[in-house]
């Protein structure tokens, strides 16, 4: 009688000996593996690799006279191989009724095989049938893709190394991670619960959108789940409690565009979309979606068109200047009585959704802030600033006059400027054309913008050494901007102004409207 099993093990041991592998045989035939194979250390390791451990793996050898390329193996043995930390392989040796091996096939216990075996183990474990893994089997298939090029030690070793890689510790770490995570791709638990009353149902939807923190619920149970298979026994079971959904993630991120009508360009804002998972289970009149922006919160029903919104411009709200301007424009638009604003939702992988938002007859008068923000946008563009500049509503209101005045300086014609001044002491010659030098500044957010403005013309004496300048020309000689949270030293300003004074000193009587000894420079928010 041929001992096919011993022939397979002897052949495998011979191949290992050919290439210096050490095949340690299992002494007990219930371990799930036949050989614990040790690899010799590589002699050419660099100093950076000398700490790496020698390769090793577990191998189950199956010898057969058949060539149907499949073999049934008990789940208990498969479980041992897939959960072993080190690499594991099946070696199938076909003898075809001959004395020598005719073909050899090697199957790596990879992530795909681990998933299949774990899923089968879990299905049996949670079923009502006999779950004795020693009596259950699973068929392992192999084909020409697993065929060794030659039935010898070199081909066997190369196959092992190709799948182990160059770092066995990394292989072990990846296998451990896969064992822990596979089967949980669609969640690790299922909870069933009951709500009582329509108000609790509405609150449940609000919790799922991040509007409310928690909701009172009646009976609820929790079951562990893996591969979509529920465990037989609940992990918890309670008659009542509160349900919270912290750390909610948005369904999608994109933009919302508000339009006065369907033909207008509209105002766009980045936002997050939240869709309640309970929308599929409740009547249409209870379905709800939520749009969350940096300064607004919009809740609406896509079926009934009902919508509510809120805005927040508190002290902790800072927006980029153009974005703040658009926010105020939107607020003014939504407070126009009797109108309906068209809202368009633009999210990747979602069709465009359009609905109408009713306007409230509310007294929001932000006209002065809007004027200041329009001026701020023009100032930033004039200074050709590309850095991010944000601002708060309080800063807009506090420096509204300064900001609008600066825009006026940048855009106005010479006859816009009216200058009167007095002169103390000697040295001023009113018969010559006069040059007046001004430093004009305004804060915008955490930066300060300034100009050195030169106005020239003849003067008319008003009374007692007081004069009125009849403006002929106005020129901005230098633009100045403080870096964020940094000040411009007074000495730098004095040097700039004195340089400009020298340019005009030979032809004009120069009057500098800047106290060089008192001014402390330009500081952010000054």
pLDDT over 80 (residue 43)? no
Which residues have a Cβ under 8 Å from the Cβ of 374 and sit 6 or more positions away?
Answer: 325
Beta strands in 328-368, from DSSP E residues, in sequence order: 340-347, 353-358
Number of residues that make up the chain? 526
Q: How confident is the model over 406-434, as a mean pLDDT? A: 89
pLDDT band at residue 309, thresholds of 50, 70 and 90?
confident
Q: How far apart are the C-alpha atoms of 26 and 33, rounded to whole Å?
A: 7
- In angstroms, how far is CA 416 from the centroid of its own chain? 50
Low-confidence winner among 34-43, 94-103, 137-146, 230-239 (lowest mean pLDDT): 230-239
Q: How far apart are the C-alpha atoms of 420 and 368, rounded to whole Å?
A: 28
Q: How far apart are the C-alpha atoms of 173 and 166, rounded to whole Å?
A: 13
pLDDT band at residue 363, thresholds of 50, 70 and 90?
low
pLDDT digits (tens, 9 = 90+) for 60-79: 999 999 888 998 988 988 99
pLDDT over 70 (residue 31)? no
CB of 342 closer than 8 Å to CB of 262 = yes
pLDDT over 50 (residue 423)? yes
For 293-331, b where at least 16 C-beta lie within 10 A, e where not — what string? bbbbbbbbbbeeeebebebebeeebbbebebbbbbbbbb
Sign of CA dihedral 325, 328, 334, 335: negative
pLDDT over 70 (residue 469)? yes
CB of 324 closer than 8 Å to CB of 396 = yes
Find, among 315, 286, 328, the residue nearest to 398 by Cα: 315
pLDDT score, position 83:
92
Find, among 175, 174, 75, 176, the residue nearest to 119 by Cα: 75
pLDDT score, position 276:
92
Q: How far apart are the C-alpha atoms of 24 and 56, rounded to whole Å?
A: 11
Judged by DSSP in three states, 40 sits in coil
Domain positions in the chain = 4-181, 189-244, 252-365, 412-513
Q: Which residue has the higher pLDDT, 313 or 512?
A: 512
pLDDT over 70 (residue 525)? no
pLDDT digits (tens, 9 = 90+) for 148-170: 999 999 999 999 999 999 888 89
Count Cα neighbours of 456 within 13 Å in the Cβ-side half-sphere: 15
Q: How far apart are the C-alpha atoms of 180 and 140, rounded to whole Å?
A: 23
pLDDT band at residue 57, thresholds of 50, 70 and 90?
very high
Judged by DSSP in three states, 150 sits in coil
Q: Which residue has the higher pLDDT, 364 or 491?
A: 491
Find, among 206, 316, 335, the residue nearest to 258 by Cα: 335
Which residues have a Cβ under 8 Å from the Cβ of 186 and sit 6 or more positions away?
Answer: 228
pLDDT digits (tens, 9 = 90+) for 316-350: 788 999 999 999 888 888 776 567 888 899 998 88
Q: How confident is the model over 441-466, as a mean pLDDT? A: 91
Low-confidence winner among 38-42, 48-52, 238-242, 475-479 (lowest mean pLDDT): 48-52
Beta strands in 137-251, from DSSP E residues, in sequence order: 137-141, 189-193, 214-217, 220-226, 229-230, 236-238, 241-244
How many CB atoms are closer than 10 A to CB 67? 10
Q: How far apart are the C-alpha atoms of 488 and 480, rounded to whole Å?
A: 9
User: Residue 174 — φ and ψ, nearest 5°?
Assistant: -65, -40
Q: How far apart are the C-alpha atoms of 405 and 396, rounded to whole Å?
A: 13
Which of 365-369, 453-457, 511-515 tops mean pLDDT? 453-457
Judged by DSSP in three states, 277 sits in helix
pLDDT over 90 (residue 47)? no
pLDDT band at residue 526, thresholds of 50, 70 and 90?
very low
Q: How confident is the model over 8-13, as a mean pLDDT? A: 94
Q: How far apart are the C-alpha atoms of 27 and 3, rounded to whole Å?
A: 18
Cα–Cα distances in angstroms (integers) from residue 273 to residues 187, 255, 270, in the given order: 22, 9, 10
pLDDT over 90 (residue 311)? no
Find, among 91, 93, 85, the residue nearest to 164 by Cα: 85
CB of 192 closer than 8 Å to CB of 234 = no
Judged by DSSP in three states, 252 sits in strand
Model-wide pTM > 0.75: no
How many CB atoms are closer than 10 A to CB 344? 16
pLDDT score, position 87:
95
Q: How far apart are the C-alpha atoms of 107 and 117, rounded to whole Å?
A: 14
CATH code for the structural domain at 4-181: 3.40.1350.10
Q: How confident is the model over 233-262, as a mean pLDDT? A: 87
Q: How confident is the model over 379-392, as a mean pLDDT? A: 92
pLDDT score, position 518:
66
Find, among 104, 109, 183, the residue nearest to 147 by Cα: 104
pLDDT over 90 (residue 33)? no
pLDDT digits (tens, 9 = 90+) for 184-224: 888 777 778 788 888 888 999 999 999 999 988 888 788 88
Q: How far apart are the C-alpha atoms of 95 and 105, rounded to whole Å?
A: 12
* Average per-residue pLDDT for the chain: 87
């Amino acid at each position: 009688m041929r001992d096919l099993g011993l022939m397979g093990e002897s052949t495998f041991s011979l191949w290992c000996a050919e290439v210096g592998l050490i095949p340690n045989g299992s002494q007990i035939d219930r371990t799930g593996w036949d050989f614990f194979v040790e690899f010799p250390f590589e002699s050419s390791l660099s100093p950076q690799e000398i700490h790496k451990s020698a390769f090793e793996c577990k191998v189950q050898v199956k010898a057969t006279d058949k060539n149907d390329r499949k073999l049934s193996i008990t789940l208990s043995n498969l479980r041992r191989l897939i959960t072993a930390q080190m690499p594991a392989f099946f070696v199938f040796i076909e003898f075809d009724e001959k004395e020598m091996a005719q073909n050899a096939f090697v199957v790596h216990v990879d992530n795909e095989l681990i998933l299949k075996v774990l899923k089968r183990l879990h299905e049996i474990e949670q079923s009502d049938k006999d779950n004795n893994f020693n009596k259950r089997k699973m068929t392992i298939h192999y084909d020409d893709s697993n065929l060794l090029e030659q039935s010898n030690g070199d081909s066997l070793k190369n196959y092992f190394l190709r799948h182990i890689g160059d770092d066995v510790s990394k292989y072990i770490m990846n296998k451990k991670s896969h064992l822990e995570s596979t089967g949980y791709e669609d969640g690790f638990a299922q909870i069933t619960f009951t709500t009582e009353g329509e108000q609790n149902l509405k609150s449940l939807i609000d919790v799922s959108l991040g509007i409310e923190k928690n909701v009172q619920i009646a009976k609820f149970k929790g079951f562990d789940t893996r591969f979509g298979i529920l465990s037989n026994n609940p992990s918890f079971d309670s008659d009542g409690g509160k349900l919270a959904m912290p750390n909610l993630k948005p369904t999608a991120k994109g933009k919302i565009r508000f339009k006065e009508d369907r033909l207008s360009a509209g105002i766009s804002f980045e936002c997050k979309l939240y869709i309640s998972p309970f929308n599929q289970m409740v009547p249409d009149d209870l379905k709800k979606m939520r749009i969350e922006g940096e300064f607004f919160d919009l809740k609406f029903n896509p079926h009934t068109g009902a919508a509510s919104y809120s805005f927040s411009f508190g002290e902790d709200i800072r927006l980029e200047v153009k974005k703040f301007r658009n926010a105020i424009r939107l607020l003014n638009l939504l407070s126009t009585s009797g109108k309906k604003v068209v809202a368009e939702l633009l999210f990747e992988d979602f069709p465009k959704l359009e609905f109408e938002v009713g306007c409230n007859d509310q007294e929001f008068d932000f006209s002065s802030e809007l004027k200041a923000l329009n001026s701020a946008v023009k100032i930033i563009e004039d200074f050709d600033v590309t850095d991010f500049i944000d601002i708060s509503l309080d800063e807009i209101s506090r420096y509204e006059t300064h900001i609008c005045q600066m825009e006026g300086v940048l855009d106005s014609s010479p006859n816009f400027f009216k200058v009167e001044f007095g002169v103390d002491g000697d040295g001023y010659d009113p018969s010559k054309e006069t040059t007046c030098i001004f430093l004009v500044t305004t804060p915008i957010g955490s930066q300060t913008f300034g100009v050195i403005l030169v106005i020239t013309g003849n003067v008319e004496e008003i009374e007692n050494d007081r004069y009125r300048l009849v403006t002929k020309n106005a020129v901005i000689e230098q633009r100045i901007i403080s870096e964020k949270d940094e000040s411009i030293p007074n000495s730098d300003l004095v040097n700039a102004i004195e340089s400009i004074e020298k340019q005009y000193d030979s032809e004009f009587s120069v009057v500098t409207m800047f106290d060089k000894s008192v001014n402390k420079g330009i500081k952010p928010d000054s």
